[in-house]
Structure 1
Amino acid sequence: MSLPHRMTGPVAPTAFRTRRSARRGAAALGLAAAMTLAAVAANPAAAGAAAPVGPVFQDGMAQPVFSSNRNDWIREEVWIETPIDSDGDGRNDRVHAEVTRLKETETAGLKSPVVYEASPYYAGGNAVANHNVDHELHEALRPGKGWLNRGGPVKDPAADERLTAAGVDEAAAADAGPAGTGPQPAISTSHEANWLPRGFAVVHAESLGSGKSDGCPTTGGRNETIGAKSVVDWLNGRAKAYDAAGREVHATWTTGKVGMIGTSYNGTLPNAVASTGVEGLEAIVPISAISNWYDYYRANGAVVAPGGYQGEDTDVLAEYVYTRADKQICRNVIEDLAKAQDRVTGDYNAFWDERNYMNDVGNVHAAVLVTHGLNDWNVKTKHAAQWYEALKARGVPHKIYLHQGGHGGSPSVDVLNRWFTRYLWGYENGVENDPRALIQREDRTLVNYPEWPEPAAADTELNLAPGDGGAAGELTLDRTRQGKPVTETIVDDATKRAQTLADAATSPNRLAYKTGALTGAVRLSGTPQVSLRMSFGRPAANVTALLVDYDQNGKAKIITRGWTDPQNRKSISRTEPVKPGTPYRIDVDLQPHDYVFAAGHRIGVVLLSSDYEYTVRPAPGTTLYLDTTKSTVTLPLVGGAAALTAANG
């Protein structure tokens, strides 16, 4: 174990990376000069040393050398002024935030970087009804059968999952009583136990339209991005803030270096703020975060729900988080969301373009630690994959952590600590030289990889050979196995669940194709795709594709899936009617994944029309016709076709 490095005295803002390093070189050198090798234990007090007035680093991480007693911390409540008026009341919106910082920032001149989480969930949520999904495709929507209740005010379950993963019991912390001085109850106490003892400050802010913040919720709209960004501006002296008495409050205690973190909506806001390129945001950790809201509520022109929230849309979520006291001022805003989101055609439009952070990924300079569950069907893996790929292409400092869980799930405190120590404290621990990908494998072991997707993965095209009498056909590298041209059919029945159809030995409501039993393991890493030659019996239909792992007993495990609207076959922005009986090329990208098919298992692809859990559910009966000889499946396999050939006998 290495000896700790100790930084003493007031800490100046620094930068060791990014394009700003040159013009901040003098500050960086000043900080480096302040670092001295201290031959003391990780706990200076235990070794008889004086209490620290600066951070202590060991093994590349900031050490918990400051007080962990909440009564020793300072808590402040502020309202930060934004440059927008999203509720139209003639006054600029203000974001309600709480700061928790060490007493040393008052008594010893300590300057702390900030761990910052913004959320629309701190004040709970409202009971809301989701949209009806039991209707014909492109039919005008109306209340009625199929409306669902999301429930009354609840805590953000993703936040609970994150705290559990970090070893923080928020309920127990709340029972411990007041934390220093300041307002009670606190917005949140998450992150405090981890980061205050390591010298960081923590800021929690309520998104516009929620809690004590002004403005209106817009489910990813530009105003929410500006609201969350304004907190970073205030921490860097570019925005004003006021206390409850209206007195101006200055953030004189911070270095101005900010790291945003959060899960789900709370993780989406860091992506949004980073896409503005705001100065001072040095690092983000988006956990199960959205990178394009269209991909949250739509897929290739199809209206597709987030997993577990069938029928939800932007207006429903805005209504859920609209927890500010004034329940009327944002009514028109939410009504406008309902109109502009277009649940009828599912087309991409200006409304969705405003909520597409991929448009502005070129502005990102913050170091990004992308975190996502490989089995997250709420915020699907496409959000992490496309964001991460764009960051790589632009040379932004990046790392990805993929785990076997679903929605939520944080990296360990050590992984986070190395990230924040490097990019917020500016301590050169070499994290930028670490393997870029940390993946939890199927047996729950953690494996480091140089990058993700696996660089050795290659797109491998497989062909479809029809089955007999509705039984599963063959998924094969050998085109000669297809035989003569055959048209196979799917009869849509949205009442049948995908898992039931994947498990069925035969069914008129799906088509299935399988490889032979694998003699060795095969790893998939990346985005599977299917390219289908199809015609349709009606002017509109859903198309769903599943990638399936069949075990030795034939039991199906759905690995990933994808959806499309054939009417958007040329563009997600334009609906073109389908002419019944006319064949079309229908391409479907499935959700990205990293998965190992075990020896003895079979790789399968299942095609169906409507997906009960995700798509609009029209009445049964639409027939889809598949030309198997002109349809293919492309899988990103490590080792490519050679690896599959070797493992397929």
Structure 2
Amino acid sequence: MPLPRPRTPLADLTESRRGRPARRAAAALGLAAATTLSGLAAPLAPAGAAADGPIGPVFSNGMAQPVFSSNRADWIREEVWIEVPVDSDGDGRNDRVHAEVTRLRETETAGLKSPVVYEVSPYYAGGNPVTNHNVDHELHQARRPGKGWLNRGGKTTDPAKDERLAAATADEAAADEMAAAGTGPQPIISTSHEANWLPRGFAVVHAESLGSGRSDGCPTTGGRNETLGAKAVVDWLNGRARAYDAAGREVNPTWTTGKVGMIGTSYNGTLPNAVASTGVEGLEAIVPISAISNWYDYYRANGAVVAPGGYQGEDADVLAEYVYTRSDKQICRSLIERLAQEQDRVTGDYSAFWDERNYMNDVGNVHAAVLVAHGLNDWNVKTKHAAQWYGALKERGVPHKIYLHQGGHGGSPSLDVLNRWFTRYLWGQENGVENDPRALVQREDRRLVEYAEWPDPASAATTLNLAPGANGAAGGLTLGRTRRGRPVTETIVDDASKRAQALADAATSPNRLAYKSGTLTGPVRLSGTPRLSLRMSFGQPAANVTALLVDYDQNGKAKIVTRGWTDPQNRKSISRTEPVKPGTPYRLDLDMQPHDYVFAAGHRIGIVLLSSDYEYTIRPAPGARLRLDTTKSTVTLPFVGGAGTFAAAIAD
């Protein structure tokens, strides 16, 4: 047997952490008795019980109770480097992922075996200031002056203002305090989740994704090596991988049951999707929050180069550079350069590069119970990621639940919801969570409403027609056919400097087409994915096409509910660019981002069509002309109650 590879001394790593207050633990439940893992009645010990307390978990109301010590001084903290069966940095040795274990002292003194709540992240060591790609250029003429990742020509992303980093590294105040006190491994990776889960008998593991922090290997923005790096931790916890401490001694996790639940937000939530898609044994549950299910859909849409909201000009190479925080700053440079070429910002086509980063391909391997959480107004990781992942899991009979809230990026379910999920699938308690309503949706008034499933089973595709306007004013959006016979066309003149909100609000504009329903006499709820089928021609060989679903209030003020984009050169396939012949009409089918939204009585439902979208698409010079044939274009909206509900709501 070969000896463990000796590690060089670990240099101190400067971390960019956001100090955040620790998440508030749930109040102790005032119950007289509870259930132990053996099923016997036992007194419910108070939260904060020390090592002389119970040696097994206690359950009440289907949830693990905080009966173990909440004092961090009573916990064991250790760090390991876990071997990964990949050499992504090309140094001739397998990569290793740096991880930190926090577990109860009872796992050492009383034979307690704990399941694991596990989070892996490329963000724990902060991020690098990075320059995004320039987006102000003609379509299919993306320029990247200079060599290397410098001189991209776009705006700079500052880690201190990055919502992804903030969402992924919340609850780090305790880590900063412990680092300052010099207790435990230095620097501490993270303390998130510990206050919630250790007192309930779980262990917590944090790991740094390959290429970040004190892991080696390279970041690849969703590449296979990152999946294997995150998966290796689950393998180690189940005896299938080796881990070593800083001195090179092998470390075995004899303290765990091997049952693992992954959780995280943003990139930290994406990696659970990735690991679950491998079908790895021991991963029993995941909670992906604001998570990516297909990296193509993060940086592209129907063949168009489309940015994540708030990160205009970012792409896979930029994000890889951003999270490349390991100490060796040279070893991964050529790999990141290769990402820049293979991601293809010129055509926006789906390719082998993106196919490697599409977890939907392997959703059939998932056996872990999945609790999806997503903000309905998340324009960073858009709602399509949650909807398509959840839909595929539902179709395959994987245990599933979805939580949708009114916020943007981030937003976890409550501790009680998480506790029931992890208690059921990590502790094996039959608490009936699989019989609960599948969907928990926060409504516009902030009430949480349970639905049997999502999208609502009562939603039905409702096809609406477009009636042309006049002199740039809005036309109609109706159930009835608006005109038969010869084409009726309207024109959009592209101007990428005009923002979507301003165009939706404008009473008239040559830079958009708008269509509005009659005034609603009652509420109409949308649940699912809006779709458009458009007949369009173009005055030039390339153009963006953007669609907005809009809620107009009683004063005509527009609220953009959701939107979608497409490249007409990808009208037949997202994998193949085909020329557009100016003046020739083409059929374009595009989906908008899924949503669950109630249009209130007194409001009007609107569709707005424009070309370039300032906040998301490439921004060519103004002047391109697009023509829409309203007689051969439709919008299909998933209304709860279908066409009947819509018709009743607009009846005079």
Q: TM-score normalised to the size of structure 1?
A: 0.92
The answer for the alignment partner of 1:65 in structure 2 is 67
Q: Distance in 1 between matches of 2:44 and 2:595?
A: 43
CA-CA distance at 1:322 after TM superposition: 0.4
Q: Note if contact 1:134-1:145 (Cα within 8 Å) is conserved in structure 2.
A: no
Q: How far did 1:373 drift?
A: 0.2
Q: Give, in angstroms, the shift of residue 569 of structure 1.
A: 0.2
Q: CA shift at 1:333, angstroms?
A: 0.5
The separation in 1 between residues aligned to 2:102 and 2:161, in whole angstroms, is 21
Matches within 5 A, 1:185-584: 185-480=187-482, 485-584=487-586
1:646 deviates by 0.6
- String of CA shifts for 1:486-516, please: whole Å, max 9, x gaps: 2100000000000000000000000000001
Letter in 1 for 2:243: A
Q: CA separation in 1, counterparts of 2:162 and 2:187?
A: 17
Q: Report Cα offsets for 1:33-81 as digits up to 9, x if no partner.
A: x22122x2353899x9961100000011000000000011000010000
Contact 1:456–1:639 (CA<8 Å) still a contact in 2?
yes
Q: Which amino acid aligns with 1:566?
A: P
One-letter amino acid of the structure 1 residue matched with residue 579 of structure 2: P
Given that 2:47 and 2:66 are in contact with CA atoms closer than 8 Å, whether structure 1 keeps it comes out as no
Q: For residue 178 of structure 1, report the CA deviation from its aligned partner.
A: 7.2
Secondary structure in structure 1 of the residue aligned to 2:490: strand
Q: Which residue of 1 aligns with 2:39?
A: 35
Amino acid at match of 1:586: L
**Distance (Å, rounded) in 2 between the aligned partners of 1:186 and 1:382:** 35
Aligned to 1:546, the other structure's residue is in SS state strand
Q: Secondary structure at the match of 1:270?
A: helix
- 2:157 equivalent to 1:150: yes
Partner of 2:113: 111
Unpaired runs of 5+ in structure 1? 9-33
Q: Write the distance in 2 (CA, Å) between the matches of 1:216 and 1:163.
A: 21
Partner of 1:506, secondary structure, is: coil
**Structure 1 counterpart SS, 2:582:** coil
Q: Aligned partners of 1:319, 1:590: CA distance in 2, in Å?
A: 30
> AA paired with 2:468?
P
SS at structure 1 position matched to 2:132: coil
- For the structure 1 residues 45 and 353, does the alpha-carbon distance in structure 2 shift closer, same or farther, using more than 3 Å as the test? closer
In structure 2, C-alpha distance between the alignment counterparts of 1:234 and 1:176, rounded to whole Å: 26
Q: Please give the alpha-carbon distance, in whole angstroms, between the structure 1 residues aligned to 2:238 and 2:607.
A: 52
The residue number in structure 2 matching 1:627 is 629
Deviation at 1:154, TM superposition (A): 4.0
> For 1:337, what is the secondary structure of its paired residue?
helix
Structure 2 letter corresponding to 1:41: L
Task: Report the Cα offset of residue 142 of structure 1.
Answer: 2.3
Q: Could you tell me how far apart the structure 2 residues matched to 1:271 and 1:75 are? A: 27
Cα-to-partner distance string for 1:230-278 (whole Å, 9 max, x where unaligned): 0000000000000000000000000000000000000000000000000
- Identity rate, percent: 82
Task: Please state whether the residue corresponding to 1:642 is helix, strand or coil.
Answer: helix
Deviations 1:158-206 (A, max 9, x none): 4644787xxxx53256336679963122100100011010000000000
The count of aligned residue pairs is 617
Q: Shift of the alpha carbon at 1:109?
A: 0.3
SS in structure 1 of the partner of residue 102 of structure 2: strand
What amino acid is aligned across from residue 620 of structure 1 in structure 2? P
CA distance in 2, matches of 1:49, 1:348: 55
Report the secondary structure of 1:133's partner residue: coil
Cα distance in 1 for partners of 2:578, 2:279 equals 38
Query: CA–CA distance in 1 between the matches of 2:289 and 2:499?
Result: 29
1:80 aligns with 2:82: yes
Amino acid at match of 1:366: A
| Contact 1:133/1:616 (<8 A) preserved | yes
- Residue 3 of structure 1 deviates from its aligned partner by 5.7
C-alpha distance in 1 between matches for 2:180 and 2:493: 62
Looking at structure 2, the residues matched to 155 and 547 of structure 1 have their Cα atoms a distance apart, in angstroms, of 29
- The AA in structure 1 aligned to 2:504 is A
User: Could you say what secondary structure the match of 1:188 adopts?
Assistant: coil
| Equivalent-residue separation in structure 1 for 2:119 and 2:328 (angstroms) | 24
Q: Is 2:36 aligned against 1:7? A: yes
CA-to-aligned-CA distance 1:593-637 (integer Å, 9 cap, x gap): 000000000000000000000000000011000000000000000
Report the counterpart of residue 16 of structure 1 in structure 2: none
Partner deviation per Cα, 1:527-559 (whole Å, 9 max, x = no partner): 001110000000000000000000000000000
Deviations 1:323-371 (CA, angstroms, capped at 9, x unpaired): 0010110011001000000000000000000000000000000000000
1:36 alignment partner AA: L
SS at 1:479 equivalent: coil
User: Secondary structure of 1:148's partner?
Assistant: strand
Quick one: which amino acid aligns to residue 496 of structure 1? Answer: K
Which runs of 5 or more residues in structure 2 are unaligned?
A: 1-29, 146-150
Answer whether contact 2:550 2:606 (CA < 8 A) is retained.
yes
1:482, distance to aligned residue in structure 2 (A): 7.4
- CA-CA distance at 1:125 after TM superposition: 0.7
- Whole-Å Cα distance in 2 between the matches of residues 353 and 489 of structure 1? 36
Quickly say closer, same or farther: Cα 1:352–1:49, change in 2 above 3 A.
Answer: closer
Cα drift, residue 134 of structure 1 = 0.5
CA distance in structure 1 between the aligned counterparts of 2:304 and 2:109, rounded to whole angstroms:
58
Given the two structures, how large is their TM-score scaled by the length of structure 2? 0.92
The residue identity in structure 2 corresponding to 1:104 is E
Distance 1:171 1:574 in 2: 49
**For residue 503 of structure 1, what is the amino acid of its counterpart?**
D
Letter of the structure 1 residue corresponding to residue 156 of structure 2: N
CA–CA distance in structure 2, aligned partners of residues 498 and 480 of structure 1: 26
Deviation at 1:2, TM superposition (A): 6.7
CA RMSD of the aligned region, Å? 1.9
The question of whether the paired residues in 2 share the 8 Å contact of 1:532 and 1:631 is answered with yes
Matches of 2:485 and 2:604, distance apart in 1: 21
